Amino acid sequence: MARANDQVAALLQEYADLLLISGGDPFRARNYEKAAKSVAGYGHDVAGLGEAQLRRIPGVGASIAAKIAQFQRTGTIAELDELRAAIPDGVREMTTIPALGPKRAAQLYHELGIASIDELAEAVEQGRLRGLRGFGARSEERLRHGIALARSLGQRVPIHVADETAQRVVAAVGQAPGCGRCEPAGSLRRFRDTIGDVDVLAAAADSAALMDALVSLPGVTEVIARGDAKTSVRIGTGHPAQGGSIQVDLRVVPAECWGAALQYFTGSQAHNVAVREIAVRRRLKLSEYGLFDAETGDLIVSRTEEEVYARLGMDWVPPPMREDSGEVQAALRHEIPRLVQERDIRGDLHTHTTLSDGVGTLEEMVAAGRARGYEYLAVTDHAPNLFMQRMTFEKMLEQRERLRALERRLASDGGRPMTLLHGTELNIAPDGTVDWPADILAGFDICVASVHSHFDQPRAEMTRRFLRACENPGVHVIGHPLARRIGSRPPVDVDLAEVFRACAATGTALEINSHPERLDLPSEHIRAAAEAGVRFAIDTDSHATGNLAFLRYGIGTAQRGWLTPDLVINTWPAGRLREFLRKGG
Ligand code: DGT
Ligand code: CA
Ligand code: CA
Ligand code: ZN
């Protein structure tokens, strides 16, 4: 569900940003922004709704409903396309810089003619921003920092942006006449946290209809190259990274070579090089067309990936593991682990509701969890020290009563009962303490504790801060451990080996936060944590019902870290989970 909601919300948000950049009415922009939030959090799929039904969504009036309907009919919004055409891509890209945003990006564009991140960097270095209304010495420093971060994303986009584009391409190309299988390959299939371009592979005898489907897809802004075997286009994403669009490469192969081609175009390049060496040693030759006898040139296999790997004496390698980091050797020894899968997850342990900054009510979030077949769900609204959330002890207790009553209703309404855990997301203060004293913490079923402030503490202090949180018997999970925001906030500086040791020793789990702009703990640290004896919680940190589906990105991240289900506490039955949450106490 709700993919359509996210897509529409992104378009409305983009419309609001572009309105501001083009000097439009800020009040109107604000309305679009509100509507975007409200559509994102709306409990029903907007895909099938007519204009009258759309207007029932809070904040959606006649003109916004008309635009959504137009998008659903035609795949585009004419007024949005006009705005997109009128504003340079570089200016839209500037809005990704933390500490800038659309309003100030517009100011720089209109007052100084700055139209790209590079031009902005130059202007900062030349001191040209000095004296500009609203830009002091401190904001210059923040801008410098923000530019470096925006550049760290480079020519890449967060995974969900690429994933949504890929799914639209697969849906359209897959329906073209003569199309057999059609699937994403490349870094997207490997669940890297950021994606350079989208690779889609399709099987067909004749590619013309498939290539037609791609170039005529709504949102295509440029056809880079069109051929029989490969066509490349750029498609608008509604996300400012890369100036608002992403390259898509569609390759069409005969069905007989599907397996070899999928293996080749999934990569990574380093994995492919290592696999080809295995082939050479066996006097075979591996290419995107198949596995061949090196001497005779005879085709041996190419139809499925499994056949290709098997003929090389290897286990099939799950795509997220294909980074040449030991998986080739493991596959040769037939020691590829059984990785955690989305269907292993029995519940989400980090979710928010309207009681703090979520947009779904307690009842809506629970219903959405139940619709996913969860056996349990933890509700973990923010604790009081995140002051803007205005949480109080009384509000928290009231929610607990409501949650218990809801759990009783679920047990008696004839449907499948569900265990509801009452939790909170605590804030780890600079000294490692958290919001509430031990006796209040003891009243929760589960506490996630996260760093939400003082991100740039020195390493030794930051490490002590984490260790103290782990040692707290009331803290069960460290939320989004590195507190990074992909493309906008760097990871905190902390001695991870120490943190892993403390987690293992105290029975504190580390979160793998599935939000696509977090993906934290990042995959590159997961194997080391697992080897140190750490347990994990793969959570979504959902702020809306539709966010529960972010789980797939957390699972992909966990698979990149070779995690097996047994190390993931929310694959466990409720009884075993509760045992873990007692922290040995
Ligand atoms: P990205 O797009 O930067 O996020 O990363 P990938 O891995 O999707 O890279 P991409 O799009 O350049 O190529 C897709 C896959 O195709 C790549 O993972 C492996 C394969 N491939 C492409 N070019 C080459 C090449 O020159 N040599 C080899 N061995 N493989 C290649
Ligand atoms: Ca790619
Ligand atoms: Ca590519
Ligand atoms: Zn948080």
Record the tokens describing residue 329, joined without a space: 């050797």
Instruction: Find the 381 Cα to ligand 3 centroid distance in Å.
Output: 40
Look at ligand 1, atom 25, and give the residue with the nearest C-alpha.
Answer: 269
**Ligand 1 probe mutation, 199, 271, 280, 285, most atoms within 8 A of CB:** 199
Instruction: Find the 557 Cα to ligand 1 centroid distance in Å.
Output: 19
**What's residue 387's pLDDT?**
72
Instruction: Find the 541 Cα to ligand 4 centroid distance in Å.
Output: 7
Record the tokens describing residue 161, joined without a space: 């942006």
- Has residue 5 got a pLDDT over 90? no
Q: Is the CB of 272 under 6 A from ligand 1?
A: yes
- Counting atoms of ligand 1 from 1, which one is nearest the CA of 268? 18
Look at ligand 1, atom 1, and give the residue with the nearest C-alpha.
Answer: 196
- SS3 state at 95: coil
What pairing do the DSSP bridges indicate for beta strands 509-513 and 477-478? parallel
Q: Is the CB of 199 under 6 A from ligand 1?
A: yes
Instruction: Find the 355 Cα to ligand 4 centroid distance in Å.
Output: 15
Q: Is the CB of 268 under 6 A from ligand 1?
A: yes
Q: Is the CB of 287 under 6 A from ligand 1?
A: no
Q: Are 463 and 494 in contact (CB under 8 A)?
A: yes
Instruction: Find the 386 Cα to ligand 4 centroid distance in Å.
Output: 10
**What's residue 253's pLDDT?**
97
Dihedral sign (CA 521, 524, 526, 531): negative
Stated pTM of the model: 0.86
Instruction: Find the 271 Cα to ligand 1 centroid distance in Å.
Output: 10
In this structure, whether the domain defined by 157-332 belongs to CATH 3.30.460.10 is answered with yes
Q: Is the CB of 187 under 6 A from ligand 1?
A: yes
The more confidently predicted of residues 145 and 524 is 524
- Counting atoms of ligand 1 from 1, which one is nearest the CA of 194? 4
Dihedral sign (CA 348, 349, 353, 359): negative
The more confidently predicted of residues 184 and 30 is 184
**What's residue 55's pLDDT?**
94
Phi and psi, residue 313, nearest 5°: 80, 20
CATH fit for domain 3-153, picks 1.10.150.20, 1.10.760.10, 3.30.230.10, 3.90.660.20: 1.10.150.20
What number does CATH give the domain 342-581? 3.20.20.140
Instruction: Find the 70 Cα to ligand 3 centroid distance in Å.
Output: 31
Look at ligand 1, atom 5, and give the residue with the nearest C-alpha.
Answer: 187
| Contacts (Cβ under 8 Å, ≥6 apart) of 1 | 45, 371, 545, 546, 549
Whole-number Å distance between alpha carbons of 505 and 493: 21
The mean pLDDT value of the chain amounts to: 93
Number of Cβ within 10 Å of residue 235's Cβ equals: 21
Look at ligand 1, atom 31, and give the residue with the nearest C-alpha.
Answer: 269
Summarised one tens digit per residue, pLDDT across range 223-262 is 999 999 999 999 988 887 887 889 999 999 999 999 999 9
Q: Which of 229, 291, 318, 261 has its CA nearest to residue 523?
A: 318
Look at ligand 1, atom 15, and give the residue with the nearest C-alpha.
Answer: 265
Q: Is the CB of 204 under 6 A from ligand 1?
A: no
Average pLDDT estimate for 329-355: 97
- Has residue 552 got a pLDDT over 60? yes
Q: Is the CB of 186 under 6 A from ligand 1?
A: yes
Average pLDDT estimate for 170-178: 97
Amino acid at residue number 298 = D
Record the tokens describing residue 201, joined without a space: 């592979």
**Residues, beta carbon < 5 Å, ion ligand 2:** 186-187, 197, 199
Summarised one tens digit per residue, pLDDT across range 464-519 is 999 999 999 999 999 999 999 998 889 999 999 999 999 999 999 999 999 999 99
- Has residue 386 got a pLDDT over 70? yes
Domain ranges for the chain? 3-153, 157-332, 342-581
Q: Are 158 and 194 in contact (CB under 8 A)?
A: yes
| Contacts (Cβ under 8 Å, ≥6 apart) of 353 | 360, 361, 362, 364, 365, 379, 381, 399
Q: Are 445 and 421 in contact (CB under 8 A)?
A: yes
- Has residue 4 got a pLDDT over 90? no
Q: DSSP of 360-407, one letter per residue?
A: S-HHHHHHHHHHTT-SEEEEEEEPTTSGGG---HHHHHHHHHHHHHHH
Summarised one tens digit per residue, pLDDT across range 261-306 is 999 999 999 999 999 999 999 999 999 999 999 999 999 999 999 9
Phi and psi, residue 539, nearest 5°: -120, 165
Q: Which of 564, 566, 561 has its CA nearest to residue 320?
A: 561
The model's confidence at residue 209, banded by pLDDT at 50, 70 and 90, is very high
Instruction: Find the 485 Cα to ligand 3 centroid distance in Å.
Output: 25
**Ligand 1 probe mutation, 155, 159, 187, most atoms within 8 A of CB:** 187
Whole-number Å distance between alpha carbons of 457 and 422: 31
Instruction: Find the 321 Cα to ligand 3 centroid distance in Å.
Output: 19
Instruction: Find the 199 Cα to ligand 1 centroid distance in Å.
Output: 9
Q: Quick check: do 157-332 and 342-581 share a fold?
A: no
Summarised one tens digit per residue, pLDDT across range 69-123 is 998 888 889 999 898 888 888 888 888 787 788 888 888 998 899 998 899 999 9
